[in-house]
Chain A
Amino acid sequence: MKMMKVMMLIVMMMMVMVMVSEGSIIEPTCKETPDFNLCVSLLNSDPRGSSADTSGLALILIDKIKGLATKTLNEINGLYKKRPELKRALDECSRRYKTILNADVPEAIEAISKGVPKFGEDGVIDAGVEASVCQGGFNGSSPLTSLTKSMQKISNVTRAIVRMLL
């Protein structure tokens, strides 16, 4: 009895593993990026990841960039009250992150969906640049440091995947 329960459990686990790994190109794709673990965790966290092709994976990551930019902008908005002495740097960050949302992300989505990935690469690289510039506006670390670092890392991983489409 116990033996059967255990066996069923094992079989079910194996079935799930097989389902997740078979058909998914997440791992081999992420191996070719600068941050395998980040890549895998981002892509696995999206239900479309396991059945997506390379374009699809790129689009999922661009979605993550969009989400992170939105989150960072909200954080920036909150900081104006809490840290009014940082206004100047926050203004610059706000401008930069709005660029990511309004320019980089739509450009990248359109380019990758239409098969001219080089413009997607430009948009993705720029997302990292804008995050860096925002961070550079503070002398040293800031309340936004971990968010901007995240953006830079995701930008690098996404760029590597977009380059596979060239």
Chain B
Amino acid sequence: MASSDALLPISAREEDPLCPYTRLPMADPNQETHGRRRRPFKGLLAVSFGLLFIAFYVALIATHDGSRSNDAVIDETKTTTSRARLAGVSEKSNDGLWKLSGDRNTPAFEWNNSMLSWQRTAFHFQPEQNWMNDPNGPLFYKGWYHFFYQYNPNAAVWGDIVWGHAVSRDLIHWVHLPIAMVADQWYDSNGVWTGSATILPDGSIVMLYTGSTDKAVQVQNLAYPEDPSDPLLLKWVKFPGNPVLVPPPGILPKDFRDPTTAWKTSEGKWRITIGSKLNRTGISLVYDTTDFKTYEKLDTLLHRVPNTGMWECVDFYPVSKTAVNGLDTSVKGPDVKHIVKASMDDTRFDHYAVGTYFDSNGTWIPDDPTIDVGMSTSLRYDYGKFYASKTFYDQNKGRRVLWSWIGESDSEAADVQKGWSSVQGIPRTVVLDTKTGKNLVQWPVEEIKSLRLSSKQFDIEVGPGSVVPVDVGSATQLDIEAEFEINKESLDKIIRNASVVAEAEEFSCEKSGGSTVRGALGPFGFSVLATESLSEQTPVYFYVAKGKDSELKTIFCIDTSRSSVANDVVKPIYGSVVPVLKGEKLTMRILVDHSIVEAFGQGGRTCITSRVYPTSAIYGAAKLFLFNNALDATVTASFRVWQMNSAFIHPYTEEAFRALTRT
């Protein structure tokens, strides 16, 4: 092959492109030197260009493969699933807004400080200002409930994350404490992220949390109280040997976060699980440890579900099949089921499933694989705005308590103007629904009743198509417990009448048009944060309809589509089917606290949290209504409405501390 020699004529030619004659290559006796100069030259040129080309191509492919190694894995599965994911469910969408802003009749809404300051909640946990997200390391210790949270000390949007801290005697009245952990080590300099506490048998606390390192790698770190005799746990020490866990082989450096509370295995080791993903499969990794400093990764995963994406904030805990108390995280046995819960990064929904845990190999399988964790059909703690939730076992009262981050549904400009963003849901107890055995039941902690002030009882029969004002005075801080009964005649008409078409399976809160769309047996319920003229209102309601099996199905919804005339807030209609067993009346509980409305259907079988931003249904102008939009059924509502006091959450002062210590 004349390869390298062939290059010489080209360079020679480049030096003198105008010269029609080739300069002879130096000492190459094989080359013919006369008569055939042009033709062999052209041949050589063609060959050499071709080879250069190939060499170039090869070089590029080699470097191309190197730089794309991470993306190659994603790209393979991207084409089939990407459309669904990109179509996407983040509820904030500027598509809807384009339509509105293009409409000349709805000018942009201008928020004033009065409207914005009304939005702040009175009895939900929130820091004095700035951004908050995930609940972290909740625990009970030496007489105090501790709550930590992801906090941005500098802005009302996510960023610069550190651990905020607060304490309470009763999960309701909180005192803000100084920041517990800041980003002061190389292994968490880019963020002190979510983590969980484990209380050891001797009462001491270990905290595991995710740090984003100075190279933005997600690692797990160990921390513990500096002074275990301080009931306020003001200061924390980070283990000098951190990180205790780094992303294992096969797991990307940014897919490894949110370690759980540990539980004891039958071998006497501690076990934790950490969510991650492999391509689009959500997974939960399992590690065993004896000292929380060195870990052994199990070869098996706790669980995996394809096409669910990254699993954040995994939670894993036992629930009793028979009793209504909570269980310590280490409990196992025949009377116990285990819950696996994960927060789906793709959809911002928290999903859980009930299943069986196998301690021998650290695996878990769902009772019903058709509603496995993260599938669109799988159960959710809450069908509204509710994410990154975390439970803890409250050994003080023998219950399992659930915290959750409730973000804003407004524009970031509003958050910046009002100076804060996000609240926590009211802590809820969580138990297995012993009547159905298939789902959890949640209920606001008992202690919230301490906020109840005066109340009024009502018994009202509401005819079809009517709206009844409920006079309770101020209507921005309320606790409502209600029972509804549809008149038997109307029910029978629907069940017995074969010509009435089954519609329950087709009905969805989100897609069936909201509370104004009338059916035979609904919707009916309350309209909260409503103006006198109903120009703004937030209906919370039941919709009862015939199912395919001719049995009645009940759906529970919150319709925020008319909660505000502002066009820069998100106003979805949330909800889901709620199981109603034979003989049960329809019950709902609603907590109204300014810009948050939390609703509990059938004792907490189906829960919905929503954020609303009325512009005129605020302060004294906010009213409460009872309504029945059914076409011909009459509904009887029996309910009590309490005025709710503020929880007066405030920063630490000597006085506040003393006051709390007295209770």
Contacts and interface: CB of A to CB of B under 8 A. Distances in A.
Partners in one complex: yes
Nearest to B105: A139
Given A114-B212, A133-B97, A164-B82, A104 B412 contact: yes
Contacts of A113: 216
B49 A115 contact: no
Nearest to B75: A28
Contacts of A22: 57, 60-61, 64
- Most chain A beta-carbon contacts within 10 A, residue among B57, B83, B411: B411
B345 A166 contact: yes
B416 A103 contact: yes
B411 A115 contact: no
B20 A122 contact: no
A116 B257 CA distance: 10
A111 interface: yes
Contact of B82 (A32, A89, A117): A32
A95 B98 CA distance: 19
A140 interface: yes
A30 to B, nearest CB: 12
B86 A163 contact: yes
B346 A126 contact: no
Given A7-B45, A104-B412, A130-B413, A166 B310 contact: yes
A23 B64 contact: yes
Interface in A96-140: 96, 99, 102-104, 106-107, 110-111, 113-119, 121-123, 125-126, 128-137, 139-140
Given A23-B67, A164-B82, A115 B255 contact: yes
B651 interface: no
B397 to A, nearest CB: 34
B251 to A, nearest CB: 12
A123 B416 CA distance: 13
A22 B309 CA distance: 29
A18 interface: yes
A134 B107 CA distance: 9
A32 B149 CA distance: 36
B110 interface: yes
Given A92-B108, A103-B157, A133 B45 contact: no
A103 B156 contact: yes
A99 B411 contact: yes
A44 interface: no
B648 interface: no
A23 B68 contact: yes
Interface stretch (A35-43, A60-68, A73-81, A152-160): A152-160
Given A7-B45, A103-B412, A164-B82, A139 B104 contact: yes
A114 B88 contact: no
B269 interface: no
Nearest to B13: A4
Interface string B76-113: 00100011011010101111011011001011111000
Nearest to A135: B101
A123 B254 contact: no
A133 B60 contact: no
A113 B94 CA distance: 24
B457 to A, nearest CB: 43
A53 B68 contact: yes
Interface residues of B, number: 68
A54 interface: yes
A33 to B, nearest CB: 8
A107 B157 contact: yes
B90 A121 contact: yes
B92 A129 contact: yes
B190 interface: yes
Contact of B101 (A5, A118, A133): A133
A155 B63 CA distance: 32
A125 B108 contact: no
Contact of A125 (B18, B49, B92, B101): B92
Nearest to A3: B42
Nearest to B106: A136
A101 to B, nearest CB: 11
Contacts of B57: 18, 22
Contact of A115 (B158, B212, B309): B212
A133 B159 contact: no
- Most chain B beta-carbon contacts within 10 A, residue among A33, A107, A114, A156: A114
A147 interface: no
Contacts of A118: 90, 345, 348
B568 interface: yes
Given A103-B155, A113-B216, A25 B53 contact: no
A116 B101 CA distance: 30
Contacts of A33: 86
Contacts of B49: 7, 11
B216 A114 contact: yes
Nearest to B14: A8
B191 interface: yes
A139 B310 CA distance: 43
A14 interface: yes
B416 A99 contact: yes
B115 to A, nearest CB: 15
- Most chain B beta-carbon contacts within 10 A, residue among A19, A33, A122, A136: A136
A155 B345 CA distance: 20
A33 B71 CA distance: 17
B253 interface: yes
Contact of B53 (A11, A99, A104): A11
A24 to B, nearest CB: 9
Interface of B: 13, 17-18, 20, 45, 49, 52-53, 56-57, 60-61, 63-64, 67-68, 70-71, 74-75, 78, 82-83, 85-86, 88, 90, 92-95, 97-98, 100-101, 104, 106-110, 155-160, 190-191, 212, 216, 218, 253-255, 309-310, 345-346, 348, 411-413, 415-417, 567-568
Given A115-B218, A166-B346, 7 more contacts: A11-B53, A53-B67, A111-B158, A119-B159, A122-B92, A128-B94, A129-B568
7 contacts: A22-B64, A25-B71, A115-B254, A115-B255, A118-B345, A128-B97, A166-B345
* Top 3 A-B pairs, shortest CB-CB distance: A115-B254, A136-B101, A128-B94
